[in-house]
Structure 1
Amino acid sequence: MSDTYYRLFKHVLLGPPLKAIYKPWVEGAENVPETGGAILASNHLSFSDSVWLPLVISRKVVFLGKEEYFTGKGPKGFATRAFMEGVGTIPVHRGGGRASEAALRTGLQVLQGGELLGIYPEGTRSPDGRLYRGKSGAARLAIESGAPVIPVAMIDTHIAQPIGQKVPSRHPIGARIGAPISLAEFQGRQSDRAALREATDRIMQAIRELSGQEYVDRDAAIVKRELAKQAREEAGE
C-alpha cells in the first residue's frame, strides 16, 4: 500500500467525515515520537480501534492484520481489503510456529524502516471490556529492535461498537497515550521467556493504568472460546 493511498484515505475519504461525526479525542499525543520506529501497544476493545488511533495522531500507524481480511471475494471482500489497506494494515498469516515468526519479522521490518507499529498485546478483542494477559510479541520486538513502547488505552470504543455491530454509535470515544516505556535492561534477552513475561507484564500494567480496566490474568482467546461454548449450551445446541 502506498503512502499516497494511506494519506488519501486518512485525510480525505475517511478521516474528515469520521472526525466530524464522532469527534474522537486524544490525550498524550505528545508522547508519540515525531520520527523513528516505535511500538504503539494498545488494549483492544473494538474492531474500529485500528481506525480511531491513526485518526487522532499525526503519524502513519502500521498494523499487522490477519490475512483473511485481504482474501475475501466479491464486493464485500474488495471493500474489506480496500479498507484494511487504507488504514495501514499489513496482512500476516496467523498461527503458531513459522507463521508467528514471520509476523514478528514483518513487524521488525516496519520498525527498522522508522515507522510506527500498532500492536494489540492481548492478541484479540476483549470479550467483555476487561484487560487480558498480554502476549510477548510486542516485548520481543521492542527488545530486538530497541524501539520504545508507547502504551495506549482506547476508551469506550467497545460501547460505541460492540462485537457484531457494523457501524459505531455516536458515543464519546478516545485514546489515552502514555509515556514511552524503555525495555533497554532486557537487551539481548529476546529469547528468555522470563524476561519476555516480565517486560510484557510491564507493558500491560502501563495500559491498565491508562485505561482503568479490570485486569484478568488469562488468555482472552481462551475466554472467548469458553463464552462461545457456554452460549451454545444455553441455546441447547
Structure 2
Amino acid sequence: MIYGAMKFSVGGSLKLAFRPWVEGIENVPAEGPAILASNHLSFSDSFFLPAVLDRKVTFIAKAEYFTTPGIKGKLTAAFFKGVGQLPVDRSGARGAGEAAIKSGVDVLAKGELFGIYPEGTRSPDGRLYRGKPGGLARVALASGAPVIPVAMIDTEKIQPPGKVVPKLMRPGIRIGKPLDFSRYQGMEGDRFILRSVTDEVMYEIMKLSGQEYVDVYATAAKRQLAEAAKEKSPTGE
C-alpha cells in the first residue's frame, strides 16, 4: 500500500516533470522473479526506474538512511521503505556483502523484482566501470532468476554535483533482453564463473548505454580522483 502511494505521488511527479523515455519495457516479465542490473549515474536512478515499471522493484540502500535519529531521520526512513528500499549495514565489507546477497535472494524467492547496481557505487564521471562479482553474480546463481540489463541515460545531467535545483530534461531508460545463467547453477563459489557472469552483464549494459567502459572499479577511480584533488589543493588537505 505504501509503495503504491509512493509510486503514485513520487513516481507520478517524476514522470510528469521529466517525461523519461523508455525502450525495451516489454523485456521485464509481467510476473515472476527477475534481477534488474543497471548502470549507476545518479541518486535518482532508484526512482526513475521504478517509476516507469508497473511492478514493484526492491533495491538495497545503506543502513544510515534508516537509522538517522530525530524527525528528519524517521521521515527519511519512511520514505526509503515506501519506495521499496531495504537497509543493509555496510560497516563490515564481508558482512554487508552477505546481507545484500541474502536480501536479494529473499526478494526473488517471493517472485518479485530485485534491482542492483553491479558497479557498487555511482560512476564518478559518467563512464561505465567494472562490475563487482560478489553481488550480482552470486544473487543470480543462488536464485536462478534471469538478469535483465538496464541502462540509465543522462540521469547524471539532471542534478550534477554542486547544483541544488535539478535541470528539467528527459532522461532515458533502455532495458535489454533477459540473460539466463542457469547453466552455472550451484557454481556461485567459483570466482571465475562469478567474474564471467558479471562481465557478460556489464557488456550488455555497455551496449545499451553507449558508455565508455573502464576496466577498474568505480570505488578505486573515486579514490584516485580524491587523491588528485588533494594534491592540487594549495594546502594539500
Q: CA deviation at 1:171?
A: 1.7
Q: Which range moved further: 100-109 or 142-151?
A: 100-109
Q: Does 1:127 align with 2:107?
A: no
Q: CA deviation at 1:83?
A: 2.4
Q: 2:160 aligns with which of 153, 162, 170?
A: 162
Instruction: Give me the whole-angstrom Cα distance separating, in 2, the residues matched to 1:147 and 1:223.
Output: 31
Change (3 A) 1:131 1:118: same
Where 1:41 maps in the other structure, the secondary structure is strand
Instruction: Give me the whole-angstrom Cα distance separating, in 1, the residues matched to 2:228 and 2:211.
Output: 24
Q: Residues 58-110 of structure 1, C-alpha deviation per residue, up to 9 Å, x if partnerless? A: 11000011101111233442332232122210001124222211221111100
Q: 1:36 aligns with which of 24, 28, 32?
A: 32
| Aligned equivalent of 1:181 | 179
Unpaired segments of 5 or more residues in structure 2? Answer: none
What does 1:1-237 correspond to in 2, within 5 Å?
Answer: 4-11=1-8, 13-94=9-90, 95-136=92-133, 137-235=135-233, 236=235, 237=237
Instruction: Give me the whole-angstrom Cα distance separating, in 2, the residues matched to 1:171 and 1:84.
Output: 24
Unpaired segments of 5 or more residues in structure 1? Answer: none
TM-score, normalised via structure 1 length: 0.94
Identical columns (%):
58
Where 2:22 maps in the other structure, the secondary structure is strand
Q: CA deviation at 1:159?
A: 0.7
Instruction: Give me the whole-angstrom Cα distance separating, in 1, the residues matched to 2:44 and 2:71.
Output: 20
Instruction: Give me the whole-angstrom Cα distance separating, in 1, the residues matched to 2:163 and 2:82.
Output: 21
TM-score, normalised via structure 2 length: 0.94
Alignment check: 8 A CA contact 2:11 2:50 kept: no
Across the aligned residues of Structure 1 and Structure 2, the Cα RMSD in angstroms comes to 1.3
Q: Which range moved further: 95-104 or 44-53?
A: 95-104
Whichever residue aligns with residue 170 of structure 1, its letter is L
Instruction: Give me the whole-angstrom Cα distance separating, in 1, the residues matched to 2:154 and 2:67.
Output: 30
Q: How many corresponding residue pairs?
A: 233
Instruction: Give me the whole-angstrom Cα distance separating, in 2, the residues matched to 1:46 and 1:202.
Output: 23
Alignment check: 8 A CA contact 1:52 1:174 kept: no
Whichever residue aligns with residue 232 of structure 2, its letter is E
